[in-house]
Chain A
Amino acid sequence: TAKGSLQHSQNTIPVRYVYNLKSGTHNLQVDRSSLPMMTLKSWTPFLKAYPALRVTGGDLNIKKLSGDPLKLLFEGALSVDNLSLLYDKLALNNASVTDNLSKQSSLQGSVNAKVESIELAAGIAMTNLSFKLEHTATDYRFHDISGQLLGGTISIPRFDMHKTSIKPFTLLLSDINLQSLLTALESEKLSVSSKFDLILPLVIKPDSRQIINGTFISKKPGILKLKSDGGKEANIAFQALENFHYKELSGTIDYSSEGDYIITLYTLGSNPDVYNGFPIKLDLTLRGNLPNLLYSMLVTGDMATPVLDDLKQKDLLKIQ
């Protein structure tokens, strides 16, 4: 048995190391100690996989920990307080996390977490988030993710990752005030007044983000205003949408990995200045291309792709 302490960038961790000659087993025992999360970047596989992810705060507290350091089979309890992470303009603030480790498989544990806020690049934030996570060294099974967003609630029942690849998952948004999103995106042309429920099945890959068969619906009446440049000669549908008072508004959203979107819109209502207010049923399909819209909203903030790899002229730009 060796007793002593582990020096880890000015932090001393009381350690007891038992090597059993007969059984050839190793056991590392760490007693109560804590150290700043920042110093742990290279240890945690998850953080190491995202070099651009910066740990900007937080303390790891080890209540008790023991196990085989070679096979990474540990049991014990860890907790992290006021953890803050930053990835470009996507910021996670003040999370408190507990992780109960078990020896069943390497780095296996079950996590409970609360996060004060996740600020998205587009200037909107998810607040009072909580989630659970079962993890091993390579697989992360998040569940019961929920929080507040845009005046409503966001929930993700299941979210699985294998190493760094994200499995398709569904985003459920309810009572969402879309107008605050439109304001955050500085949209001068579109405004919509009622609250919406959205179901967004997402497929996220390293270089592409897709929405497949997303749906949105507002059961409450509201007013949609879409300023189109056409004015009087604008298409009748766009004239109607200049000031459309609707009873209910629903539709679908699809967004391809190349940035092509197709939005279908179904609504019943009227526009006092069109057909002098006679009821109108609108069945519209809107198509367009906004590459990397989701990524720029979540991570970069501006409408530019952060990773310039698809811009072949990267060296021409001489951007380090």
Chain B
Amino acid sequence: CTVKLEAPDKPIHIIGDFTIKHEIVVKVERELDKALSEDSGLF
């Protein structure tokens, strides 16, 4: 991500290119924690 400081009166220009890892991974992990919990006998 590059930040360009042009003349003081000009706005700060922020350019960025991001890949978003959706919360799906977090959600799946939470679901797996439940499904493979202690009493599931599967972990």
Chain A interface residues (CB < 8 Å from chain B): 189, 235-238, 240, 268, 275, 278-290, 303
Is there an interface contact between A284 and B12, defined as CB atoms closer than 8 Å?
Answer: no
Q: Does B3 contact A (CB under 8 A)?
A: yes
Interface size on B, residues (CB 8 A): 16
Q: Which residue of B lies closest to A268 (CB)?
A: B11
Say yes or no: B14 contacts A281, CB within 8 Å: yes
The total of Cβ contacts below 8 Å across the A-B interface reads 54
What residues of chain B have their CB less than 8 Å away from a CB belonging to chain A? 1, 3, 11-24
> Nearest chain A CB to B29's CB is how many angstroms away?
14
A288 touches B21 (CB 8 A): yes
Q: Report how far A189 CA is from B21 CA in the complex, Å.
A: 13
What residues of B have a CB within 8 angstroms of the CB of A284 in the complex? 14-18
Is the beta-carbon distance between B19 and A236 smaller than 8 angstroms?
A: no
A236-B3, A280-B13 known, 20 other contacts, Cβ within 8 Å: A189-B23, A236-B1, A237-B14, A237-B16, A237-B18, A238-B18, A240-B14, A275-B12, A281-B12, A281-B14, A282-B14, A283-B13, A283-B14, A283-B15, A283-B16, A285-B16, A286-B18, A287-B20, A288-B20, A303-B24
Q: Are B22 and A279 neighbours in the complex by a CB distance under 8 Å? A: no
9 contacts between A and B (CB under 8 A): A236-B1, A236-B3, A237-B14, A282-B16, A283-B14, A285-B16, A286-B20, A287-B19, A288-B21
| Min C-beta distance of A61 to chain B, whole Å | 49
Given contacts A235-B1, A236-B3, A237-B1, A280 and B14 within 8 Å (CB-CB): yes
A288 x B12 contact (CB < 8 A):
no
Kindly list the 9 A-B residue pairs having the minimum CB-CB distance in the complex, ordered from nearest. Answer: A279-B11, A288-B20, A237-B16, A285-B17, A281-B11, A283-B15, A281-B13, A287-B19, A284-B16
Q: Complex Cα distance A283/B14, Å?
A: 6
Q: In the complex, A287→B21 CA distance in Å?
A: 9
B19 to chain A, nearest CB (A): 5
